[in-house]
Amino acid sequence: MPVYTVHAPSDVTLRDEADKFVFVRDGFHFWAMVLGPLWLLWKRLWLVLLGYIVVAGAIAVALRLLGATAEVRVIVFVLIALLMGLEAASLRRWSYSRGKWRQIDFVVADDEEAAERRFFDRWTEQGLSGLQPPELPTSSSPFPVRPPAPQQDIIGLFPEPGGRR
């Protein structure tokens, strides 16, 4: 089942503005692979599009200067297109995180409509009555933050002198 991340503008606080939430499906995006620059335009990812054009242009110039054959150039650009399809959702989430958006939740569902339904059902079940969407801990890292390890010895690695065996 696909996983969707839920993003909301930072200033959204009222239930009436819940239509501004964006659901981003994680996984491979076929149209981003096939029509990379057009997909970026469609999703309004301007900075990512600029980076794509610069990187693709630099690679094309480098391959021409290295005297690469046409087959090698085609393979390289097919690999770039494949990478674009694999990383499209991450690029979209990155663009939202740069703006005044925050990731507030994630949902596992078959399609976007089911993801919206599950998210809003859970939102209303938590008794939040529209004041705030559910919050996730904020961190500068995209990975979950673990609590610090307790300041005790680790059990099982090395015996303590004079301790039981």
Q: Residues 8-36: pLDDT tens digits?
A: 887 766 566 677 788 899 889 999 999 99
In a domain, 135, yes or no: no
Parent domain of 73 = 3-125
Nearest residue to 99 (alpha-carbon basis) of 5, 4, 7: 7
Name the amino acid, one letter, at 158.
Answer: F
In a domain, 107, yes or no: yes
pLDDT band at 131 (very low <50, low <70, confident <90, very high): very low
| Rounded Cα distance, 34 and 40, in Å | 11
Token pair 């990512």 is at which residue?
48
In a domain, 146, yes or no: no
| Rounded Cα distance, 4 and 128, in Å | 21
**β-strand partners of 101:** 9
- SS3 call for 1: coil
Number of domains in the chain: 1
In a domain, 41, yes or no: yes
| Rounded Cα distance, 11 and 121, in Å | 22
What does the pLDDT read at residue 130? 47
In a domain, 77, yes or no: yes
In a domain, 149, yes or no: no
Work out the average pLDDT over 68-93.
93
State the DSSP code for 100.
Answer: T
Does 7 score more than 50 pLDDT? yes
| Rounded Cα distance, 94 and 30, in Å | 19
| Rounded Cα distance, 7 and 21, in Å | 6
In a domain, 147, yes or no: no
